[in-house]
């Protein structure tokens, strides 16, 4: 038998290794920004073209590299951060593996210009598919400029798996925001296709958060700051009203490194318990400073998943810090049973209260103010007190009135009255009422048989409509969601929806990541009735909205739509257009709790049964349930 095991060529091995670190343009953005931070830069610029597929360039004013270091930094496992195994447990820099630049060079074309502080001449290096094509002295500014061009040009199969430009740009913005939040003392800027998306000046953490999330958050942030010998927690959480239905504004940093931790996120959620809806997520930007010896950051190539040596301590401390912050800023009530030491040392608490002092106190005006005659709730005895007898007579009359016949509701609807158990002589119901989803035959009956009575709204959530063989109970929100879904779906596939033009166009602004999402959906939004155009700097002009949508706050409406879209994009493995249609249907559906008129209810019934699939909403919830008359008659023993 011949030998079959061979060593992989370096270029193939590098491409395989690169796949663990560089999964998309945003991965390169993260690595290059972190390298610039490690170089002690105070100004970092990020330039993007074609969502990073054509160009990702980072320019910094850091310490720069020597000619030898500039060449060595592209070798695998070449690093200045680790010399011994012990160094792995004292990592405080962002990068340390020595894989980032080697991985980038393996799947792109790279140009590097760098000059050390105090040196007159810099170094230029050009690399193509891990191979150095050129290295020469050059004139350049102090610091480093590195450009990654034509990502995955040599691995076309992986390039084909990249998403749309808008989707890839959203990932880039997310990585940029994470690094920018970590280091508010550094100036960051982001340009995409010649347009500036961010200009973040040096400042405090709160200024950086507001600069990224928007000025509206300036008054909605609560300071968190707790310190112990073991760890420190600091940062900000949003007030309960900033909570959203989707994730996106949650940031945890350990030793300034962004991490993902469902465990710590659970601690935050518990701290907000009973303050926000169960399906909402609070805003937080929290930093944990802890001895690196207590943290293992070398468990994942992206370094975003880490392990603590004592997770329970971390969990408890984070939860307590947030609860204390919310209570301290009067966001949630608190009782403080710990008296100030200065108060505890007062004579009033430490000295006995003598009889003489009691006598003096009882004669004071303050004491008399709280005497019984001055109490607000005191009811003086009066000759008119006998007038209360009228109320007693009223109850006496009620007690002597003949009792109404009582109905013992069978256990099918819950328990019978707890005061009076059901009598043994009562007939037993053997066929409880059947509630079932209406099948095709029931739908024909509902559409053909005109109800002899008008539909009735129940608890402003359901519509009760009589049919020949019983009645149906319709979930008004789920039903309207189904109606809108099919209407919007037809608009995308057959005929665009009509637009209701606004008398005064409105300019609305979004966070950069949300603006990228709007750009990704722009054509489909226009097909669905939005007259929406980009206006630069993450702003859009709204000249019209779908004709069937009530007039209102356009910014709030579109932001709510984006939240629904992101919600569906996390849960559904469907294409973008399907996500958008479902999101619009959910966002514009009549909510539970809205009172409807008779005509509105009848319109919902008529349009629902005109749908191609009327029994379920796009979310999977039943739109209506049928109750058969014959089953109700059995329940009331009318079948005999």
Backbone angles phi, psi at 7, to 5 degrees: -75, 135
CA distance 51 to 349: 69
Task: Spell out a b/e string for 141-173, using b for 16 or more CB atoms within 10 Å of the CB, else e.
Answer: ebbbbbbbbbbbebbeebeeebeebbbbbbbbb
Give residue-wise pLDDT tens across range 514-541: 888 888 888 888 888 888 898 877 789 9
Give residue-wise pLDDT tens across range 425-451: 333 333 334 444 445 455 555 555 554
What's residue 270's pLDDT?
A: 92
Identify which of 286, 293, 338, 339 has the alpha carbon closest to the alpha carbon of residue 317: 286
What's residue 416's pLDDT?
A: 37
Spell out the domains of the chain, with CATH numbers in brackets. 10-200 (3.30.565.10), 205-328 (3.30.230.10), 431-640 (3.30.1370.100)
Helices (H), 43-164: 67-72, 100-106, 156-160
What's residue 338's pLDDT?
A: 44
What SS3 state is found at 376? coil
Give residue-wise pLDDT tens across range 190-222: 999 998 888 999 999 999 999 988 888 888 999
What's residue 93's pLDDT?
A: 59
What's residue 623's pLDDT?
A: 94
What SS3 state is found at 214? coil
pLDDT of residue 395 exceeding 50, the answer is: no
Determine the straight-line distance between the first and last CA of the chain, rounded to whole angstroms. 88
Instruction: Quote the percentage of the chain above a pLDDT of 90.
Output: 32
Joined tokens for residue 370? 């709280």
Give the DSSP letter of residue 518. H
What's residue 483's pLDDT?
A: 94
User: Exposed/middle/buried for 631, CB within 10 Å: 0-12, 13-18, 19+?
Assistant: middle
**Which has more confidence, 555 or 161?**
161
pTM of full prediction above 0.85: no
Q: Where are the strands (E) in 321-437, listed by range?
A: 435-436
Q: With cut-offs at 50, 70 and 90, classify the pLDDT of residue 598.
A: very high
Give the C-alpha distances (Å, rounded to integers) separating 218 from 180, 215, 556: 18, 5, 18
Q: With cut-offs at 50, 70 and 90, classify the pLDDT of residue 146.
A: very high
What SS3 state is found at 421? coil
Site of tokens 């009792």 = 403
What's residue 362's pLDDT?
A: 61
* pLDDT, the chain, mean: 78
Cα dihedral angle (81, 103, 173, 180), rounded to 10 degrees? 10
Identify which of 538, 564, 535, 552 has the alpha carbon closest to the alpha carbon of residue 214: 538
Determine the average pLDDT of the residues in 459-488: 92
Determine the average pLDDT of the residues in 585-600: 90
Give the C-alpha distances (Å, rounded to integers) separating 78 from 14, 68, 105, 141, 526: 14, 12, 14, 25, 51
**Which has more confidence, 370 or 145?**
145
Instruction: Quote the percentage of the chain above a pLDDT of 70.
Output: 71
């Amino acid at each position: 038998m011949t030998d079959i095991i061979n060593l992989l060529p370096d270029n193939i091995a590098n491409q395989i290794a690169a796949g663990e670190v560089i999964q998309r343009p945003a991965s390169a953005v993260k690595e290059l920004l972190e390298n610039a931070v490690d170089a002690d830069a105070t100004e970092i610029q990020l330039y993007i073209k074609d969502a990073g597929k054509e160009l990702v360039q980072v320019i910094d004013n850091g310490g720069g590299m020597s000619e030898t270091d500039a060449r060595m930094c592209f070798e695998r496992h070449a690093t200045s951060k680790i010399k011994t195994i012990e160094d792995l447990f004292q990592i405080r820099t962002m990068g340390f593996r020595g894989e980032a630049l080697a991985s980038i060079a393996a799947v792109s074309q790279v140009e590097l210009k760098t000059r050390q502080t105090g040196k007159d001449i810099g170094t230029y290096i050009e690399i193509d598919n891990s191979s150095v094509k050129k290295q020469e002295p050059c004139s350049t500014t102090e610091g480093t400029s590195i450009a990654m061009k034509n990502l995955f040009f040599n691995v076309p199969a992986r390039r084909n798996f990249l998403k749309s430009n808008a989707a890839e740009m959203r990932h880039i913005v997310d990585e940029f925001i994470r690094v920018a939040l970590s280091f508010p003392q550094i100036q960051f800027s982001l340009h995409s296709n010649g347009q500036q998306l961010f200009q973040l000046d040096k400042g405090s953490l709160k200024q950086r958060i507001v600069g990224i999330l928007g000025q509206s958050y300036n008054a909605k942030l609560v300071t968190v700051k707790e310190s112990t010998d073991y760890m420190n927690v600091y940062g900000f959480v949003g007030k309960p009203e900033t909570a959203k239905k989707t994730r996106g504004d949650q940031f945890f940093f350990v030793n300034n490194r962004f991490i993902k931790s469902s465990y710590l996120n659970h601690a935050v959620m518990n701290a907000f318990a009973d303050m926000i809806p169960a399906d909402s997520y609070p805003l937080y930007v929290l930093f944990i400073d802890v001895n690196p010896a207590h943290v293992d950051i070398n468990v994942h190539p992206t370094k975003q998943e880490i392990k603590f040596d004592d997770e329970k301590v971390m969990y408890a401390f984070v939860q307590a810090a947030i609860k204390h912050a919310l209570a301290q800023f009067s966001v949630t009530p608190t009782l403080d049973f710990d008296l100030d030491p200065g108060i505890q040392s007062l004579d009033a608490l430490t000295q006995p209260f003598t009889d003489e002092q009691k006598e003096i106190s009882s004669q004071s005006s303050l004491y008399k103010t709280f005497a019984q005659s001055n109490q607000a709730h005191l009811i003086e005895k009066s000759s008119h007190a006998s007038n209360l007898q009228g109320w007693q007579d009223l109850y006496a009359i009620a007690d002597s009135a003949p009792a109404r016949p009582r109905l013992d509701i069978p256990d099918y609807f819950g328990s019978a009255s707890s005061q009076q158990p059901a009598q043994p002589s009562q007939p037993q119901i053997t066929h409880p009422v059947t509630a079932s989803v209406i099948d095709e035959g029931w739908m024909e009956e509902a559409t053909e048989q005109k109800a002899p009575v008008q539909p009735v709204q129940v608890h402003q959530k359901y519509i009760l409509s009589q049919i020949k063989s019983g009645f149906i109970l319709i979930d008004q929100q789920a039903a309207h969601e189904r109606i809108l879904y099919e209407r919007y779906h037809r608009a995308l596939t057959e005929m665009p929806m009509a637009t209701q033009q606004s008398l005064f166009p409105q300019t609305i602004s979004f966070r950069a990541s949300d603006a990228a999402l709007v750009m990704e959906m722009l054509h489909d939004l226009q097909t669905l009735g939005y007259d929406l155009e980009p206006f630069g700097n993450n702003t859009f002009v709204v000249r019209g909205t779908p004709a069937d949508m009530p007039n209102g706050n356009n910014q709030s409406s579109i932001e709510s739509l984006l939240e629904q879209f992101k919600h569906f994009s996390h849960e559904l493995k469907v294409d973008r257009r399907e996500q958008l249609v479902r999101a619009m249907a959910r966002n514009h559906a009549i909510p539970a709790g809205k009172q409807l008129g008779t005509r509105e209810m009848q319109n919902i019934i008529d349009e629902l049964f005109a749908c191609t699939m009327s029994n379920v909403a796009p979310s999977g919830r039943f739109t209506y349930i049928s109750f058969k008359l014959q089953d109700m008659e059995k329940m009331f023993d009318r079948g005999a």
